[in-house]
Amino acid sequence: EKKTNKIIIGFSQCTSSDLWRQSMNSEMFRTASFHPELELIIKDAKGENWRQIKQIENFIEQKVDLLIISPNQSDPITDIAVSAFEQGIPTIIIDRKINSYKYSAYIGADNYEIGKNVAQYLGTLFNTPKKIIEITGLEGSSPAQERHNGFINGIKPNSQLKLVYSEDGKWNQLNAEEITKNIIDSIDFDVVFAHNDIMALGASNIINKNINKKVFIIGIDALPNLGLDMVDKGIINASFLYPTGGNEAINLALKILQKQPHHKLNLLSSAIVDESNAKVLNLQAAQLTIFQDQIEKQIQNIKNQELKYNNQKTLLNTTVIS
């Protein structure tokens, strides 16, 4: 039951163990902090469907005013997400999808398009035959399926590009290292397409230790301090920007809560990051981080002032009463 008169947004986050998710969370907190009427609660499902279902159930019981969900896997989370929506809770699905259109809005970049763009980008780079290894994201999570399908369709018209091996790296670096270790001696390849940058990093670590041959490594996310930096330093060769949408999700939530018109499908744009633009993007990102830090310090200052003010008020009240 609600015990506050604030507007409560519950965000069910599939995991918070990587920097991309942590950035999404802090973007949301930052944007929400500009709206004192909002209270944002983030629950981390730690990559477990059962935990995410429980946490969404709790949000429903708590009667949150709006629910944001980034489902760990589509199938297992669909029923509970639909049930929340059908019980009248406005629901935003972010980044990963459910298997239903019963929600208020979806927000995220087009993963099919990104997969296809990866293929087309590789096509522009090479005009000799290239053997490609794909390390996919977690099976059953929609970006992994869509990135794979887009990629497959993207390489189809190009007879030079051959996918020779594909395995589930489950979005994490250690699995990608394991996969690369296991195939490095038995499979010949020129390109690694990893569905995110941390898996691309995993592949890069093993390849650098084990073969002298030049392998082209491409990932996805291009997060400042991570993928962007890795491209800038030449640890991986390219990445596609995959914005977290944290800021946009809170703004969309506000629109929905204020009953303003909004789109149901909200697509965020992506772009290639490679040696041609990584340096300048990295410099810009560093500048942005400085601004964000300043904003966060200001927010903290305001909170401290509020606390001080409230304490003084209570003190005053106490004196009057006694």
Nearest to 82 by CA among 64, 68, 97, 100: 100
> 59 or 242, CB closer to ligand FRU?
242
Q: Which residues bind ligand FRU (CB under 6 A)?
A: 15, 18, 20-21, 95-96, 137, 141, 143, 171, 196, 220-221, 242
Please give the order of strands across the beta sheet that includes 216-221.
Answer: 161-168, 130-136, 191-194, 216-221, 238-241, 272-273
> 7 or 114, CB closer to ligand FRU?
114
State the minimum distance, in angstroms, from the CB of residue 320 to ligand FRU: 53
State the minimum distance, in angstroms, from the CB of residue 14 to ligand FRU: 7
Backbone angles phi, psi at 34, to 5 degrees: -80, -5
> 130 or 195, CB closer to ligand FRU?
195
- How far apart, in whole angstroms, are the C-alpha atoms of residue 286 and residue 280? 10
> 137 or 154, CB closer to ligand FRU?
137
Bridging pattern class, strands 191-194 and 238-241: unpaired
Contacts of 272 (CB under 8 A, 6+ apart): 117, 121, 238, 239, 240, 241
For residues 69 and 95, the answer to whether their CB atoms sit within 8 Å is no
The dihedral through the CA atoms of 150, 107, 109, 57 has a sign that is negative
State the minimum distance, in angstroms, from the CB of residue 16 to ligand FRU: 9
Nearest to 2 by CA among 41, 51, 33: 41
State the minimum distance, in angstroms, from the CB of residue 132 to ligand FRU: 19
State the minimum distance, in angstroms, from the CB of residue 240 to ligand FRU: 9
For residues 201 and 255, the answer to whether their CB atoms sit within 8 Å is no
> 106 or 242, CB closer to ligand FRU?
242
> 193 or 242, CB closer to ligand FRU?
242
State the minimum distance, in angstroms, from the CB of residue 24 to ligand FRU: 8
- Which residue has its beta carbon closest to ligand FRU? 196
